Amino acid sequence: MNIQEIDFSKTLSDDQVYETIMSNYSELSKDWISHQWNWMNSVYSSFKDHYKYMIIISLVEKTLQFYDQMNILYSFDEYYSKSYVQIDKFSITELCKKLDLPKETVRRKVLELEQEGVITRSKKRIVIDRKAFKFIKPNQQIKFSAKYIHLVSQALNKEKIYSKKIDQKTIENVIKKKFTLSWRWFYRMQIPLIIGYHKFMKDLTTFHIWGTICMNQILNVSRHLNAGDNKNSLDYFTTNNVLIENLGSDTGISAMSISDMTGIPRATIIRKCQYLVKEDLIKINAKKQYVLSSMNFRKILPYQTEVFRYKAKFIRKVINLVTISLSDNIIFFLYIILKMYI
């Protein structure tokens, strides 16, 4: 079989996925926000500290990278068959650069993780002990990710960019079967994506709170997105304009509700919301509830479009991986493997 016989139309590029997400935003936004909100809740619940969890997954991602380089591939069940994961040696400077955090902050958090028994050292061996913290296997997160990827694949089908029909369960199965590879991609999406919001909002607790307000707003006004003249998919810009136009008094959320939903103390939420109000990212409605500000769209746009690129890359790789599992063309198989690493 020669190279001309490969159907290159079956491969996806980051740009194709990105443009599809942006042009079908009204259909995809609710599930993406739910996807990220649930992940942020799991991040916070492990230590009641977003940054400790980010340090842990940064170290784990480095181990997954090593597996990848050595052609070691574990399934979900194989990877979680032990209560610990061995990690490579690391430096505080390396973590600072990866997470864009001050050296003293990273050093203090790592020391606390060691004191709590989460990171243990024995001679040259460094281990993350999953028994030492509120560890949750990402079963639910895989379902959320598979659902969103499925929705994007449907949008790609509609745009005639991608021809295969892949269901959510197939995506879940492929992620679990190729878990250490898939989840390395997941972390490589989430780490720079979340750190990007950290840079914009100064800390991750503030971003978590803003995301909860955003999710509430999306859920409350989603009925307007496909009503009247909006029966077709709306792009990112139009969707945000509809959201801003429907900032009604009934769309807000209280500090107590945010606390109940996230586990973040109410006093912390009130303090962080004061910052968000000052930055004109949210406002307080007549019911003393928090809603998005009309300035929110303009301010957040540069960051949203940047982080969506990370999302597009992750989705492209997973869909191509699913395509591999459904293909019996060995040359196409090898070709798409190369594409995933470009």
pLDDT at residue 2, as a whole number: 43
The answer to whether position 69 is within a domain reads no
Q: Is residue 33, in this structure, part of any structural domain at all? A: yes
Residue pLDDT, tens place only, 260-286: 999 999 999 999 999 999 988 898 988
% of the chain beyond a pLDDT of 90: 56
Checking if the pLDDT of 228 tops 90, the result is: no
Confidence of residue 112 (pLDDT cuts 50, 70, 90): very high
- For residues 243 and 157, the model is more confident at 157
User: Which pLDDT score, from 0 to 100, does residue 53 have?
Assistant: 94
Residues 6+ away with beta carbon under 8 Å from 122: none
pLDDT greater than 70 at residue 227 = no
57, pLDDT greater than 60? yes
pLDDT of residue 9: 54
Of residues 314 and 26, more confidently modeled: 314
57 occurs within a structural domain: no
Report whether pLDDT(140) > 70: yes
pLDDT at 200: 85
- Find the mean pLDDT for residues 59-72: 90
pLDDT in tens, 311-326: 999 999 999 889 887 7
Residue 220 lies in a domain: yes
Spatial separation of the C-alpha atoms in residues 10 and 79, rounded to whole Å? 31
154 vs 338, higher pLDDT: 154
Structural domain tally of the chain?
Answer: 1
Instruction: Classify residue 324: in a domain, yes or no.
Output: yes
Q: Which of 37-46, 199-208, 323-332 has the lowest mean pLDDT?
A: 323-332
pTM of the model: 0.88
Q: Is residue 81, in this structure, part of any structural domain at all?
A: no
C-beta contacts of 260-268 below 8 A and 24+ residues apart: 261/41, 261/212, 262/40, 262/41, 262/44, 262/208, 262/209, 262/212, 263/41, 263/44, 263/45, 263/48, 264/44, 264/205, 264/208, 264/209, 268/205
What would the mean pLDDT of 218-238 be, rounded to a whole number? 69
Q: What percent of the chain shows pLDDT beyond 70?
A: 87
Domain of 266, in residue numbers: 3-46+137-340
pLDDT for residue 332? 46
Residue 215 placed within a domain: yes
Q: pLDDT class for 249, splitting at 50, 70, 90?
A: low
Q: For residue 5, what pLDDT is reported?
A: 45
Q: Is residue 101 part of a domain?
A: no
